[in-house]
Amino acid sequence: MVRGRVEVLLRGDVDGERMEGFLEDLRQEGDQLLGFARLLRLASATALGRLDRPHAYASTMNARQIADQAQASLAEEYGMTVTVSGEGVAVLAEEWVAAGFAGIVREIAHQQAGPKVTVDGAEITVGPVASDGDLRSFVSGDDPESWTAGLAIRVIRALGGSVELDGETLRLRFPEPHSSEAAT
């Protein structure tokens, strides 16, 4: 998509308002690519054991913001209804971790309609999880069908958080920033 927009701009086939739209789209796509590159760097460095301070590479978001972004994304892209409740605190995460969380909720929604997402501080729970669904490989981060969700799970754990299946509830505990870091 980026390449096509750049080619159109280079040909000079765009003027005025349309050019502003193209440039804004390129900026947004560039930001997404940068976020994804940061997430890949964090995940790969952690997997190779070459990252002593993963917290230095993560941004700060509010846990409720992560849940709200998933709700909006799933409603817009898939027409899924997800209920979100509770209050969050500042946690260490990246935009791609938030996108990965939306993938996690989407996988659960495919198995059980209308999942509920509850935010309690730095913990986000999702349920009910279908009892006949097999989420073991998904929670382990090894599900090849949802690589953004799997990568998000690995990064949450690398930052010191946890992801576990507790009966019919999936629990994600996001790491909180050190007190000297800015909170949102």
Given a cut of 80, whether residue 1 has pLDDT beyond it is no
pLDDT tens-place string over residues 2-57: 677 777 777 777 777 777 887 887 877 777 677 667 667 766 766 676 656 656 66
Q: In terms of pTM, does the model score above 0.75?
A: no
Residue 173 gets the label, from left (phi > 0), alpha (psi -120 to 50) or beta, of beta
CA distance 39 to 33: 10
**pLDDT of the residue at 182:** 43
Specify whether domain 54-173 bears CATH 3.60.15.10: no
β-bridge partners, 93:
59
* Interval 92-108: pLDDT, tens: 887 777 888 888 888 88
- Residue 136 pLDDT: 60
67 pLDDT higher than 80: yes
183 pLDDT higher than 50? no
Domain boundaries, the chain: 2-47, 54-173
**Which comes out higher in pLDDT, residue 137 or 117?**
117
Q: Which two tokens stand for residue 134?
A: 């097999």
Can you state the angle between helices 147-158 and 95-111, rounded to 10 degrees? 120
Q: Could you give the CA distance from residue 101 to residue 107 in angstroms, rounded to a whole number? A: 10
